[in-house]
Amino acid sequence: MNRPKNDRGSMRKPTWASTVLWVVLLVVVGVSLSILLDAHSKLAHHLPKEWIDLIRAGVVLVVGASISRLLERRLFGLSIDKLGPQHATALRYFSRLLLFVVVSVSVLTAFGAGLPSLIFGGTFLTVVIGLAGQTIFSNIIGGLWLIFFRPFHIGNTIGVVTWQYPVLMPSFPHEAVRPIYIGRVLDINLMYTEILNQDGYPQLIPNGILTQSFIENRSNVGVRRVRMRFDMPYEIKSSIFTPRLREALTSEFPGALDTAAEVFVEDIYPTAYSVVVCVYSADKEDVVRDQVLGIAIDLGDELRDGQQKSFGES
C-alpha cells in the first residue's frame, strides 16, 4: 500500500507570505506587550520603573531576535546560483547588520533613551568611539572591509598568516615555518569568516583578525616554488651530490631558465651538511616534497653504495 505524499519529507518550505505573516504577528505581540507594560496601565502600575524598562527591553530583544531569525532563514534560502556566492554573502551580511542595529537601538530605547538623543547626542558618539576598538565592533567593521574590498571571494581557497595563532618551531628541517592556515571560504557573517580547512573541519576566524592578516589567495595559482631543506652526511661528498641532484630535479621538473631547479649547500654541522632545494611545480607541496626526497634518497644510496664498492676494491 502506497504511503500518502503529505508526510514530513514532502512538506512545502516556508514561503515569503508565511514569513511576512509571522513577522506581522510578532510585531503585534510586541506592541501589545509594550502597551500592557506602559507605566500608566493598571498591569504595571505597581511595578518599579526599572523593572518595567527591563521587562520591556526583554520583550523587544526576544521579538527582535525572532524576527531576525525568520528573515535570515528566508534570505539564506535564496539560491546562490541565482545571486552568485559573493552577492548572496553581501546580502546576508548587510541583512544581519541591519537587523543587529535595529534590535540594539530598540532595546536601548526600551530602557527609556530617546531615539534623537541616542543618535545625535554627544554621549552616543562617545560610546561608539569608545566601543569601536572593542572586539565586537572591530569584527563588524572588519566584515564590512572584507565585503567592500574583497581580498577574496566566497569559494576561494586562501592561506591566512597571522601572529595571533602562532605555530611552534620545528626541530627539523631547522627553518622557520609561517603560521599559515589554509581553507576554502564558506561565509562571512557579522563576527567571523568561516573556512573549511584541508582536514575537512570548519574554522571560524574573527573578521578583525583577518583584516590584520597576510592573506594568500590560492584559488588561481599556477606554477609555484617549493623550498625544502634536509641534511646529508659528510660521507656523501657535496661536490658530487649537489650537481647530480640538480640534474635529476631539472629532468623531473622541467621549466624555463628562471624556474630551473636550484640545489645548494646552506649550512654545515659537525657530522653533516645542510642542502636546500627549490623547485617549481603546479602540484601540491606535499607531493613535490615526496618526489624530491625520493630522488635525494635514491641518489644518496647510489653514491654511498658506489663509495663503499670503491673502498672495498681498493
Average pLDDT along the chain, 314 residues, taken 10 residues at a time: 46 63 76 66 61 71 74 63 70 76 70 54 54 71 87 90 72 66 89 90 91 85 85 91 93 78 91 93 88 94 78 58
Counting the structural domains of the chain, the total is 3
Residue type, 280: Y
Structural domain includes residue 178: yes
Residue 147: Cβ within 10 Å count:
16
Q: Which of 301, 298, 223 is nearest to 261 (CA)?
A: 223
**Amino acid identity, residue 201?**
Y
Same domain, 108 and 169: no
- The domain in which residue 66 lies consists of 14-132
∠ at Cα 160 (158, 162), nearest 5°? 170
Residues 179 and 213 in one domain: yes
Cell representation of residue 202: 570548519
Q: Does the residue 236 lie in any domain?
A: yes
Residues 199 and 282 in one domain: no
Q: Is residue 239 part of a domain?
A: yes
Are both 64 and 94 inside the same structural domain? yes
Q: The C-alpha cell of 292 is what?
A: 624530491
170 and 204 co-located in one domain: yes
Q: Are 234 and 272 in contact (CB under 8 A)?
A: yes
Name 110's Cβ contacts closer than 8 Å, sequence gap at least 6: 34, 53, 56, 57, 59, 60
Q: In what order do the strands lie in the sheet with 157-161?
A: 202-206, 192-197, 180-188, 157-161, 214-217
What residues contact residue 99 under an 8 Å CB cut-off, 6+ apart?
64, 67, 68, 71, 72
Q: What pLDDT score was predicted for residue 16?
A: 62
Position 258 in a domain: yes
- At 13 the pLDDT is 54
CA distances from 78 to 14, 96, 120, 185, 206 (A): 12, 15, 37, 19, 25
Neighbours of 45 (CB within 10 A): 10
Q: At what angle do helices 135-149 and 122-132 cross, to 10 degrees?
A: 80
Q: Mark whether 180 and 262 lie in a shared domain.
A: no
**pLDDT of res. 4:** 47
Domain match, 29 and 119 both: yes
6 domain residue, yes or no:
no
Dist CA 13 CA 11 (whole Å): 6
Which residue in this structure is represented by grid cell 624556474?
259
The CATH number of the domain where 251 resides is what? 3.30.70
Task: Identify the three-state secondary structure at position 212.
Answer: coil
pLDDT confidence of residue 115: 53
> Do 124 and 173 fall within a single domain?
no
* Boundary-marking domain end, from 200, 217, 234: 217
Q: Torsion-angle region of residue 155: left (phi > 0), alpha (psi -120 to 50) or beta? A: left
Of the residues 178, 195, 217, the one at which a domain ends: 217
Among 132, 167, 196, give the residue marking a domain's end: 132
Give kind and range of the element (H or E) at residue 267. Answer: strand 262-268
Residues 181, 125 share a domain: no
One domain for residues 27 and 121:
yes
In a domain, residue 63? The reply is: yes
Amino acid of residue 104: S
Same domain assignment for residues 198 and 230: no
Closest residue by Cα to residue 186 from 196, 172, 171: 196
Q: State the distance between the two ends of the chain, measured CA to CA, in whole angstroms.
A: 91
**Residue 246, domain member (yes or no):** yes
What CATH number does residue 171 fall under?
Answer: 2.30.30
Residues 122 and 42 in one domain: yes
Residue 145 belongs to some domain of the structure? no
